[in-house]
Amino acid sequence: MQPRRSRSIRSSLCAGLALALAAPVSAAPTQSAFDSLVDKLRAVHAYEFDVDATEHAGTVTKAATMHVAVNIDDHSEQLVILAGAHHGSVVSWTGGPDESVKLPGMMSVIPVHGPLRDSKFLSLRGNDIRVAELQTILDCYTAHRDSMVEAPGPMLDGEQTISISITSKDGVVCDGNDWQQERAVTRDEVLISRATGLPRRRARYEGTTLVEEWDLRDFTMHGGPELRPAEGTKQASTR
């Protein structure tokens, strides 16, 4: 009798083990594209990229191509206007309410100082230089996280993207673009590259009307403090 019972116990254990091995394993929760980008920036001290920026205000459109260099440690930023109005100019900010502008050619000897929202050099809609900082974008989205939606995005230059959007009927107002005209913006969307996890495009809408679009490319991320905005920036185009 005892051997038969032992065989029965062994059979039950084997059956239980087989069922346990066959049971589906719960997948670990997938991190959102937004949280992945936040984590990616934690190890970065400085970064740079190119951006094609287009803004619309009524019947007026302003477009420019810029090289952006941001130093997180110094909390400073530099934009080189590569194409568009005032191409060849270099706009720098090191904190405070003003920016420094070096015009191209001999005019660069004496920098011009002006308010952050000087639309003559940067934004048709009153956005200031801080809008180009990834941290500013992330802070804006964090402030509106209750309306944040992630979804599959469109193909962009053959690259798959993830759409992250925030909405507010009272206006998507963020640090750096909280000018009165920006209060008409009801939707803000960032397209994140599935391949790199970095932003490829940011667009802002008044209802269904596109009023701002920034195409970002050629990111270089620096894990140390070696980059300074005064260094490592591209030469301005002579177009």
Query: Distance (Å, rounded) from C-alpha 205 to C-alpha 212?
Result: 7
Among 41-45, 185-189, 206-210, 215-219, name the one with the lowest average pLDDT: 41-45
Band of pLDDT at residue 172, cut at 50, 70 and 90: confident
Looking at CATH, the fold of the domain delimited by 33-222 is given as outer membrane lipoprotein receptor (LolB), chain A (2.50.20)
Kindly state the helix (H) or strand (E) to which residue 195 belongs, with its residue range: none
- Helices 134-143 and 33-42 cross at an angle (nearest 10°) of 140
Q: What is the pTM of this model?
A: 0.78
Band of pLDDT at residue 194, cut at 50, 70 and 90: very high
**Position 226 pLDDT exceeds 50:** no
| pLDDT at residue 225, as a whole number | 47
Query: Distance (Å, rounded) from C-alpha 201 to C-alpha 51?
Result: 9
Instruction: Name the range with the highest mean pLDDT among 18-27, 58-67, 93-102.
Output: 58-67
Q: Residues of the chain with pLDDT > 70: what percent?
A: 74
Query: Distance (Å, rounded) from C-alpha 44 to C-alpha 42?
Result: 6
| pLDDT at residue 164, as a whole number | 97
Which residue is associated with the tokens 């941290």? 135
The mean pLDDT value for 132-140 works out to 88
The full set of domain ranges for the chain reads: 33-222
Structural contact between residues 212 and 64, judged by C-beta atoms closer than 8 angstroms: no
List, in order, residues 6 or more apart from 102 with CB less than 8 Å away. 89, 90, 91, 92, 108, 111, 112
**pLDDT tens sequence across 103-120:** 887 666 677 887 776 666
Task: Enter the tokens of residue 13.
Answer: 């254990």
**Position 223 pLDDT exceeds 90:** no
Band of pLDDT at residue 4, cut at 50, 70 and 90: low
**pLDDT tens sequence across 23-34:** 555 454 578 999
